[in-house]
Chains A and B, each alone.
Chain A
Amino acid sequence: MPVLEVNDLHAEFRLDTGTVRAVNGVSFSVEPGQTLAVVGESGSGKTATALSILRLHPTPPCVYTGGEIVAGGRDLLTLPEREMRQVRGNEIAMIFQDPMTSLNPVKTVGAQIVESLRRHRSLPRGEARARAVEALREVGIAHPEARAGQYPHQLSGGMRQRVMIAMALACRPKLLIADEPTTALDVTVQAQIMELMADLQDRFGMAIVLITHDLGVVAQVADKVLVMYAGRPVEAAGADDLFERPRMPYTRALLESMPRPDVPGGAVLDPIRGAPPNLLDLPSGCAFHPRCGFARPECASTVPALEEKAPGHAAACVLTDDDLPGTSEGRRVSGT
């Protein structure tokens, strides 16, 4: 049974300037021990999706306009706020891109972990303190007793992110939502953190929803991938399948435009033209059509549904497999 199942989720922001449909029909599920990556460019709705799962958006301006979020046999969208508070941090934990915004600067990191433990488990203070030190040790922090007594600003970026992970995992959640957990970090520290998350996942069997814009990170850790573009899910597949045979021209063009560290450089890259759209002023039809090398007349009028193109591989595109040859079989035909 999936730890989390999101069905046709819709969330929008009603602003003075218009309505931003930041989460527009998102569906996915994650099984225990599985890692689902949600990828997309800045503004594509990744964080909005993550925050919706825990109902963390300010309302207004946010309105959840449809869908369901099923976890532990109930729909989180309709759960009373009091019960929702028990879900957050306990069943489902979240870590954010910038640990400084979610750590309290005037409390020691130890005290913050103790607080989060006591919120969900009625532990005596002494035991909670011991568990907090243990949690810091689990995420590979040396001298955890001493570190527990330090404040966030006394730690490096990588260590703060470890503290966030320690805090998130202290209650042994079934699901960890990690929103760009390594984007602000250097590659060597990123490698440490990704290794740590994989190790903890092995040990505790939790599911991970990893939100990132980095397809390299996706290739490292994901079992399944959901690609978002302009608030919509546009491709969903197993990770190997997605990279081997992307079935949405956007995903494919992204992969083709990226240089690789393991391939000699020097060739002219094949860029995607134009820029990501503004959600307040979306193109009609398929939102990718002004940039798509395969666009047809109907792409400007009809929004393609996310449908299965091959077993376990869905894409939101009018093209069939015959229209879109595999990347190895031929380069993208360039649009005019």
Chain B
Amino acid sequence: MSTRDEPLLSLRGVRKEFAGRGPGSTVLAVDDVSLDVRPGETLGLVGESGCGKTTLARLILRLVDATAGEIRFGGRDLLKLSQREMLSVRQDLQVVLQDPYASLNPRMRIGEIVAEPLITHHKVPRGRRGRAAARERVAELLDAVGLDASVQDRYPHEFSGGQRQRIGIARALALEPKLVICDEPTSALDVSIQAQITNLLRRLQRERGLTYVYVSHDLSMMRQMADRVAVMNLGRIVELADTEELFTNPRHPYSHSLLSAAPIADPKAERARRRIVLRGEAPSPADPPSGCVFRTRCPVARDECDGTRPPLVDHDVPGHAVACLYPVRAAADLLNETTS
């Protein structure tokens, strides 16, 4: 039913509260998130630990149920689907996780791990013919992620972190999904192999027309990977724009502080930049501030910021949305542009 202009994934007013520690207390992990993911794009989700990135990913996968809101994927409202209907949608909706050590079952052979979704979703016939078909399909998938077909008979512990991440990617691709959620896919890897995995993800996206939701706290990786970036703070999206627009013209004070804190591996560029170091502690999602949730750390907060939560709306540039009453203007001098 979906036309080409329609978003592949669409969230409206999505909210998730977890039960907190004390009786009656709640943790507001995701708060009023609305966003669209267009077919073929990479939408980046960036923000500090605990801001709700993984929870948002889990909500989309329906691994946890939203407290409120609507999540539409390919035109269907996921929250209204039965478990059975959800199972069929899950073919199109896959995930690559951060920790390639924890996400592969140590007792299964690589071939079994990659073939598992094929079997669960009855993509291969039962019996010997099915097993042969699965092996062949697994060999193709392993080849696509740069691994030799012969690794099928080996176990996860025999592989390095980067190789395990390739295996995880092969498994995610087994059902030819439309959307892949990548939750910090390189942050557990050695620095020298992160680029291998990012290049691989980009190539697969090009070859297979994949759509990515790319979760990371690493801004360098974000700028490298994402077409558009959503900045999250305390469960809310505070800024959303095309990647280059966001990096060159950030408007939310929180985005500014994030960008200015991202280390640059170049001492000259480091010396030339101005850093906005936030004062104080990040508030707890169990007890978010009233009004703007960034209020307690915001260098330019005013009394009015304690009123309602600022909505995420376009400012000046169409498609560049900011949830702030007083968006920052002078951006250029805060993140130095250096070309080398």
Contact = CB atoms under 8 A, between A and B. Distances in A.
Main secondary structure of the interface of B (DSSP, over half): helix
A158 interface: yes
Nearest to A42: B190
A159 B263 contact: no
Contacts of B160: 275-276
**Top 6 A-B residue pairs of the complex, sorted by shortest distance between their CB atoms:** A216-B263, A271-B195, A265-B224, A259-B224, A269-B195, A191-B261
**Most A C-beta atoms less than 10 A away, residue of B196, B265, B335, B337:** B265
A66 B196 CA distance: 38
A41 interface: yes
Interface of A: 41-42, 142, 156-159, 186-192, 195, 213-220, 222, 239-240, 243, 250, 253-255, 257-266, 268-273, 275-276, 291, 328
Contact of A269 (B199, B226, B270): B199
B34 interface: no
Contacts of A291: 192
B262 A261 contact: yes
A190 B261 CA distance: 8
Nearest to B281: A156
A270 B194 CA distance: 10
B267 interface: yes
Nearest to A43: B190
A74 to B, nearest CB: 34
Contact of B268 (A191, A240, A264): A240
A46 to B, nearest CB: 13
A192 B278 CA distance: 7
Nearest to B297: A188
Given A186-B49, A268-B199, A275-B160, A263 B263 contact: no
Given A188-B278, A213-B191, A218-B265, 13 more contacts: A41-B192, A186-B217, A189-B282, A191-B261, A192-B278, A216-B263, A219-B263, A220-B267, A259-B195, A261-B220, A262-B337, A272-B193, A275-B162
A8 B210 CA distance: 52
B259 interface: yes
A240 B338 CA distance: 16
B267 A271 contact: no
A258 B195 contact: yes
A243 B244 contact: no
Interface string B152-181: 000000001111000000000000000000
A142 B267 contact: no
Contacts of A218: 265
Contacts of B265: 215-216, 218-219, 243, 255, 258, 260
Contacts of B221: 259
A159 B336 CA distance: 29
A263 B337 CA distance: 7
B258 interface: yes
**Most B C-beta atoms less than 10 A away, residue of A213, A243, A262, A271:** A262
Nearest to A190: B261
